[in-house]
Amino acid sequence: MIKKLVIFGVGLIGGSLALALREAGYCQTIVGCSRNAAHLQKAVDLGVIDGFTLNPQEAVQDADMILLAVPMGAMGKLLPQIKQAMPADAILTDAGSTKGSVVAEVERVFGKDFARFVPGHPIAGREMSGVEAAIPDLYANRRVILTPLPYTDPDAVVAVETMWKVTGAVLESMPVELHDQVLAATSHLPHVLAFSLVDTLLNLPMREAIFRYAAGGFRDFTRIASSDPVMWRDICLTNKTAILEMISKLQADLSEFAALIEQQDGEGLHTRMSRAKQARDSYITYLENGKTDK
Amino acid sequence: MIKKLVIFGVGLIGGSLALALREAGYCQTIVGCSRNAAHLQKAVDLGVIDGFTLNPQEAVQDADMILLAVPMGAMGKLLPQIKQAMPADAILTDAGSTKGSVVAEVERVFGKDFARFVPGHPIAGREMSGVEAAIPDLYANRRVILTPLPYTDPDAVVAVETMWKVTGAVLESMPVELHDQVLAATSHLPHVLAFSLVDTLLNLPMREAIFRYAAGGFRDFTRIASSDPVMWRDICLTNKTAILEMISKLQADLSEFAALIEQQDGEGLHTRMSRAKQARDSYITYLENGKTDK
């Protein structure tokens, strides 16, 4: 049970958490805080939060759990205000897609051994964003990755785990750096590729024909290019090292592929593509055996 | 009405055409030909074709419509046999994903003004292949692109158009080279990317973690990496120039993207991704207004 949950940034992510916890009766009160009164009022009207304030220091008064669900760019101004007013035993957690950067930011403001911060990343989403898109079962059977530091209080970790479990999520912990590398590979790189593919096609002289003749595969493939550019800009900025590493590896792979085509190496191409097919087919089997996210 | 339709290669593509035409009662007889008697017998058992032969010359006796649905690698041996025995007014057509290479192959065997060949490409498919996967509505509302040459007989073009229209397909014509460029952009490049992405991830040290934590986006994105490697090897070999051009453009785009990340150019990244999102969103609207393939 949480007495007072404060959510900074009541959008899809924060809003869905609130709805899930509300359904389970897990919080006595849920308060929202951001810089947009209209959005926050909307969140109240939709029954997502009980009330709101535009003042971060007021928001965290008497809070026991504080969720940061704001863009990385907002953290710099926000964290000092939270630090000033949050209760000593309150827990601070977040929901961002990259962990290294938020850990660095918290360390910068709170010091290098702030034991009440539990970095977290719920791996869930929808194409739509905003509190209107929030749904209570967004996290059901989805994976939430926590990346506690060596100095993080174990009880704080347990409290954050428990909160997410109430939503139906499956919890995992891993080191900050591994998280950022894995996400760079499995999420950030595909998004960069989808954005780049659409961009490349946009710039072709035969663009009209391309729009007309693009088949279903193109639609699915580029689905993630309809993602929120603000969020993805922030991800690219905050996971810079890991993403650049992934882009570099992919470019090397593409160059090898191109060389095989240039040399008309049918066998080499077949081997490469069979290997990829096999890997992906076993991955799907793995998924269907329930061992990972849908 | 077709008197005798001959299908070389009775798999998903040829088989589905046969089923659609059979449902419409459009052919008096449908005969299959390939080098695999067991597959052909299966096709008969499934009610896809009326009979078969392993002998191409026998197959095309008295045929009025001949469909080539075999891999490009088989064309070299097959075409001379068809040439020897096909009736003078029979029509030859195909269903391959690339047009430049089959046109070149037909020109090589039949001469540079063989007026009975109508190059065609039905833009449809399923993840499964083989005659067991054939379905009569594979082409319903799907686009079929014909790429007649300047010397192709108009009546032959009309006959092939009519045949495909019976299956529910929507017909379009375009020049050979434009077809290959558009397909390189919208289909071949995405497949190359998906194969490369899976390959890159396979070679990472944290491969196990990647399989566990890859979310739904990765699954969709890599779906086309489960495609048939034989077919895709052939596409890469036969559409070499256009595909290499596309890979090159994408590599340049990726390098620009990486540079923006390296320079921490948030605005540049946001602009780029917003542009891609807008383009893709209008593409989806275009699709939903029924102007192109599903």
Residue ranges covered by each domain of chain A: 2-174, 179-263
The one-letter amino acid code at A293 reads D
pLDDT at residue A231 in the model: 83
Amino acid B126: pLDDT: 77
CA B77 to chain A, closest CA, distance in angstroms equals: 18
Residue range B173-193: mean pLDDT, rounded: 91
Which of A180, A213, A218, A275 to probe by mutation at the B interface, max B CB count within 10 Å? A213
Is the per-residue pLDDT at B68 higher than 90?
yes
- CATH architecture type of domain A179-263: Orthogonal Bundle (1.10)
Residues 6+ apart with CB under 8 A from B141: B168, B169, B170, B293, B294
CB atoms A254 and B183 under 8 Å: no
3-state SS string for A55-103: CHHHHCCCCCEEEECCCHHHHHHHHHHHHHHCCCCCEEEECCCCCHHHH
Alpha-carbon distance of B230 to A16, in angstroms, equals 45
Asked if A20 contacts A166 with a C-beta cutoff of 8 angstroms, the reply is: yes
Residues 6+ apart with CB under 8 A from B65: B2, B4, B5, B6, B27, B90, B91, B93, B159, B160, B163
What's the whole-number average pLDDT of chain A?
91
pLDDT one-digit tens code per residue, A200-230 = 888 888 777 777 766 556 776 677 777 788 8
Q: What percent of chain B has pLDDT above 70?
A: 95
User: Does residue B96 carry a pLDDT above 50?
Assistant: yes
What pLDDT shows up at residue A292?
A: 47
**Interval B133-161: pLDDT, tens:** 999 999 999 999 999 999 999 999 999 99
Q: What is the dihedral of CA A44, A45, A46, A47, to 10 degrees?
A: 50
Cα distances (Å, whole numbers) of residue A263 to A251, A268, B102: 18, 10, 20
- Cα angle A217, A218, A222; round to 5: 120
| Paired tokens of B192 | 């190359």
Q: What are B229-255's pLDDT values in tens digits?
A: 888 898 999 999 999 999 999 999 999
CB A153 within 8 A of CB A139: no
d(CA B121, CA B4): 21
Q: How much of chain A is in helix, strand and coil states, percent to nearest 5? A: 55, 15, 30
Q: What is the CA radius of gyration of chain B?
A: 21
Contact residues for A232 (Cβ-Cβ < 8 A; gap 6+): A191, A195, B269, B273
Sheet holding B117-118: strands in order across? B51-53, B27-33, B2-8, B65-68, B91-94, B117-118
Per-residue pLDDT, B292: 46
Residues A202, B193: Cα–Cα separation, whole Å? 17
- What confidence score (pLDDT) does residue B212 get? 72
How confident is the model over A18-30, as pLDDT tens digits?
A: 999 999 999 999 9
Instruction: Write out A246-279 in H/E/C secondary structure.
Output: HHHHHHHHHHHHHHHHHCCCHHHHHHHHHHHHHH
Q: What is the pLDDT of residues B72-92, one digit of tens each?
A: 888 989 999 999 999 999 999
pLDDT of res. B293: 47
CA distance B89 to chain A (A): 32
Closest residue to B277, CB basis, from A229, A255, A287: A229
DSSP H or E run through B83: helix B72-85
Closest CA to B34 of B5, B11, B13, B18: B11
Q: Which chain B residues in 143-172 lie under 8 Å from chain A, judged by CB atoms?
A: 143, 145, 172
> Furthest-apart CA pair in chain B: how many Å?
68
Nearest of A181, A13, A193 to residue B273 by alpha carbon: A193
Dist. CA B107–CA B114, nearest whole Å: 7
B57 contact A CB<8A: no
Architecture of domain B2-174: 3-Layer(aba) Sandwich (3.40)
pLDDT digits (tens, 9 = 90+) for B35-54: 999 999 999 999 999 999 99
ipTM: 0.82
Q: In chain A, what percentage of residues exceed pLDDT 70?
A: 95
- Substitution target in A198, A288, A294 with the highest count of B β-carbons within 10 Å is A198
Q: Which residues of B touch A220 (CB under 8 A)?
A: 220-221, 223-224
For range B8-30, the mean pLDDT: 97
